[in-house]
Amino acid sequence: MRNIKYRFASLALAATLLATAASAQTDGSSQQSIERKKMESLWFSNTNNAAGAQLDNMGYYSQLGINYNHTDGDFQRTQLGTNNNGYGFSTDGGGQFENLKGAFMWGYFNYSHDKIHGARYNASLIDPLRGMPFYLADTNTSNWIHQSYELGMKAATPILGKHWILGVGVDYQNMQGAKQIDPRPNVQMSKFVVTPSVVYTVSKHAIGAHYTYSSRREDGTATNSISLMTQPVWEVVAPGFYNTAEIGSGSFSGLRAYNANAMGGGLQYSFIGEKIKFLLSGEYTFAVEDVNNNYTTPKIIGTTKENTWDVKANLMWSINPKHSLFAEVEYYDRSIDGIEYVQVWDNTYEVSQWIVISKNIRSNFSTLRTTAKVDYMKNRGNSYSWLAGIELQKEKLSDIYYLPRSTQDVENLYFTAHVKKNFFFGKNAILVGVNGGVKKNQSGEHTYSGNYADSDIYKNMVLRDFRYLQENALMWGAELGYTRSGLFNSRSSLFINVKYNHVAPNDGDGKAHFDNYSALVIKAGLTF
């Protein structure tokens, strides 16, 4: 464990050095200038094509910070807990390096440590809402401790042969999740993503393509520290569908070993004129994840087959040097099939293994999301004085368990608006921001034909989550930041930033089913 920490500390230091090494430019840097830089870098921020970042001409930046966050309230999914806090460290930075003939290099490192309080119905997964229907759920309300290290980089060659740019992105994440009450797994997760890419550019036009491969492993065994008591669990295969078992009893394995592979690719087209930047990008990912319950005599618990389409169009219009307009429309479609197996134990002495007799798609979980947003920015130097925007999002969640047929459909509309103002006082700046929004449910239907309508997990998780998903809500928040520039040199600055967001259920019948939810984030750091 200690070795892993040292290793990650070394990697963090390397990432920080990479970030700060890119800081040899003359303009001052601040959180807001970096925010603007990322908004203007359409390829960098909206695609996984690292080669395309070369076309953004984003210059350099680097930042590092520490953060503390706290959430409170039960207006969220049941498995996420009600009162969470955490802290973290993050750094990212990079850009085009002249001493590397204009090659683009960028990296990041994030560390987070979170304590989840009062989570329920999860004894397997670090992130129970990541789209994995096969997991163990238990009856005990429990805390979880999460710890995550993630790092990655994007690199791109200079333009080769006047037209070609090659790039690659690499990401790695290692995460641990430890449940604090029996049955308690210590879940280990690691994920590796590699994304080679290419761009062909002619004049103001460019087309790009990238390929993505990712491998993800997550496993942990739910065991009891108090061995004289068994713990009942549900082996969930879909919301409301499960098999009961006892941790610590018989030969039941509390292990859930997840093994995922994903492949995909994307195509991009961009036009970069003097005043207009336009990017059209589309990405498809196909992921398969197997779930086993044993390393030596594995019985496959289930498989998910995930198809994801993400199509996006981004526009940046530099109206004049002082005013910019940003627009984005996005279509996102994710469909996850849950495959269950019929298996028999072959007890032939020489064989002794689980044999798959047949498999079927038993469930599907679909997310359709359409988003449109517009932002206006009043520029000031390399930062901004005003940033205001609106966003409209329509989301449809559809779940089905084919036999016995059970369905859930929820359609919601979200509208949010935000405005931020930067006040400058010499080397000091104060950022004030407010935001607000509304979630309006369009439709919601839940039918259940399973045998466990009276069970605790069905009533208190499945139905509760359905109510949460279709609950109307009002959202508001505020942000306050302070920046002191020229701290060590003309580029560096120190910042501290506080964000608060509040979500309140707003049910039409006047009978709120939930309390409020609030989130506080305090972040302080340096930019270069």
Partner 1 sequence: MRKYIYYIAAFAALILSSCSEMMNDALDAEVVAPIKVAYKIDIKNFTAPDGSAATAPADWYSNLEVVFNNFSEGIETNVKVGADGVAMAEVIPGIYNITVRSTQKYNGKSYIINGLAQNVALTEAVTSPSDKYAISIQPLLGSPLCIREMYYAGSLGGYFRDQFYEVYNNGEEVVYLDHICLAHLVPEYATTSLPEWPAEDGVDKYAYAVTLWQIKGDGDDYPLQPGESIVIAQEAADHTKIETWAGFGIVDTSKVEWECWAGNEQRINEEVPDLPYVFWSGYINKMQWLTSVDGSAMALYQPGQNLEFGSDYWQLGVTTQKKVGSGGQQYVRIPVGDIFDAVECIPTSADLDMKRIPGILDSGATSVDGYYNGKSVSRKVIDYREDGTPIFQDTNNSTDDFEVFDSPVIRRHDVKRPAWSPWAE
Using CB under 8 A as the criterion, which residues of the chain lie in contact with partner 1 when the complex forms? 160-161, 164, 166, 196, 198, 211, 213, 215, 228-230, 232, 241, 243-246, 248-252, 259, 261, 263, 286, 288, 290, 297, 303, 305, 337, 339-340, 342-345, 347-350, 352, 357-362, 402-404, 450-452
8-state DSSP, 465: H
Peptide bond connecting 232 to the previous residue in cis, omega within 30 degrees of 0: no
Q: How far is the CB of 362 from partner 1 (least distance, A)?
A: 5
> Of 307 and 382, which CB lies nearer to partner 1 in the complex structure?
307
Q: How many CB atoms lie within 10 A of CB 374?
A: 15
Q: How far is the CB of 112 from partner 1 (least distance, A)?
A: 29
- Number of alpha carbons in the 13 Å side-chain half-sphere of residue 182: 13
> Of 450 and 486, which CB lies nearer to partner 1 in the complex structure?
450
8-state DSSP, 80: G
Q: How far is the CB of 246 from partner 1 (least distance, A)?
A: 5
Q: How far is the CB of 251 from partner 1 (least distance, A)?
A: 5
> Of 232 and 436, which CB lies nearer to partner 1 in the complex structure?
232
Distances (CA, A) of 321 to 31, 206, 279, 402, 491: 20, 24, 21, 57, 22
Q: Which residues pair with 183 in a beta bridge?
A: none
- Rounded to 10 degrees, the C-alpha dihedral 63/64/68/70 comes to 40
Q: Which residues pair with 90 in a beta bridge?
A: 65, 110
> Of 164 and 482, which CB lies nearer to partner 1 in the complex structure?
164
Q: How far is the CB of 300 from partner 1 (least distance, A)?
A: 10
180-199 exposure pattern, b = at least 16 Cβ within 10 A, e = fewer: ebbbbbebebebebebbbbb
E strands, 381-403, are 383-401
> Of 58 and 260, which CB lies nearer to partner 1 in the complex structure?
260
> Of 297 and 442, which CB lies nearer to partner 1 in the complex structure?
297
Q: How far is the CB of 244 from partner 1 (least distance, A)?
A: 4
> Of 273 and 404, which CB lies nearer to partner 1 in the complex structure?
404
Q: How far is the CB of 272 from partner 1 (least distance, A)?
A: 23
Helix (H) or strand (E) holding 473: strand 473-485
